[in-house]
Amino acid sequence: MKMPKRLIAGAVVLMLGASPLLHVMADERGDHGRGDDRGGPPPGHWDNRGNEHRGPDNDRRGGPPRDFGPVRQTIHDNRGYFVRGAPPPPGIRLVRGQPLPRGYYGERLDGRALSRLPVYPGYEWRRMGGDIFLMAVGTGIVYEILDGVLY
């Protein structure tokens, strides 16, 4: 009697574990659930290639850009709205692609500074000493570090 329950439980765990893998495979194929052989995004999908920097009032889908040159320029042009943060505690070092060190979250920027930066849903701008960094809100992973942009 115990064997069938274990077998069923094992099958359920296997199906649940494989479901994210199926989504990854669909993304790599490029069909995104489209169901045809053409590939590419589904109908009605907004393709934002070429929109590397959007203003703070514009919605942006697809995450932050790879080139943050325009953001650096915005900070430089509006440096009166940005102030240095407190230096990080000893031993704290941010690494792009890694989660924030345990117990450290950086400092929030004030509303005046945030109003000059682009908004990326699911990400938040923070500061640490003379640096500004962009982190994923849900995971705390550092997406980008703008070294030395705060004077």
Give the pLDDT confidence of 18-40 residue by residue, as tens digits: 545 444 444 444 444 444 444 44
- CATH number for the domain spanning 135: value is 3.10.450.160
pTM over 0.75: no
Q: Give backbone dihedrals phi and psi of 103, rounded to 5 degrees, phi first.
A: 85, -5
Residue 59 covered by a domain: no
Residue 73's pLDDT is 94
Residue 83 covered by a domain: yes
Residue 66's pLDDT is 86
DSSP at 145: E
Residue 85 covered by a domain: yes
Whether pLDDT at 54 is above 50: no
Residues 129 and 73 grouped into a single domain? yes
Of 34, 59, 56, nearest to 45 (Cα)? 34
Q: Give the number of domains in the chain.
A: 2
Residue 151 covered by a domain: no
Q: Which domain holds residue 18?
A: 1-45
| 52 burial via Cβ count (<10 Å: 0-12, 13-18, 19+) | middle
